[in-house]
């Protein structure tokens, strides 16, 4: 996120700020839909987020 200058609030397609916060803190895992959206956004393989 630092490399791309992205904040939690810049990822609404992943979920609410609360959901994003839980993912970043390791309390929640990404689901398939979120992984696909992140992979598309960052132009990387979905495997990057698995």
- 3-state SS of the chain is CCCCCCCHHHCCCCCCHHHHHHHHCCCCCCCHHHHHHHHHHHCCCHHHHC
- The answer to whether position 39 is within a domain reads yes
Whether the predicted model's global pTM rises above the 0.85 cut: no
d(CA 14, CA 40): 12
C-alpha to C-alpha distance for 19 and 17, rounded to whole angstroms: 5
Task: Please check whether residue 1 lies inside any domain of the structure.
Answer: no
Identify the domain containing residue 19 by its residue range. Answer: 12-49
User: Is there a domain that residue 38 lies in?
Assistant: yes
Q: Specify if 7 maps to a domain.
A: no
In a domain, 43, yes or no: yes
> In this structure, is residue 35 part of a structural domain?
yes
> pLDDT 10s per residue in the chain (50 long)?
888 899 999 999 899 999 999 999 999 999 999 999 999 989 999 999 98
Total number of domains in the chain? 1
């Amino acid at each position: 996120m630092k490399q791309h200058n992205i904040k939690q609030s810049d990822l609404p397609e992943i979920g609410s700020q609360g959901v994003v916060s839980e993912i970043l803190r390791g309390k929640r895992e990404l689901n398939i839909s979120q992984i696909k959206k992140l992979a598309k956004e960052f132009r990387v393989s979905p495997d990057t987020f698995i």
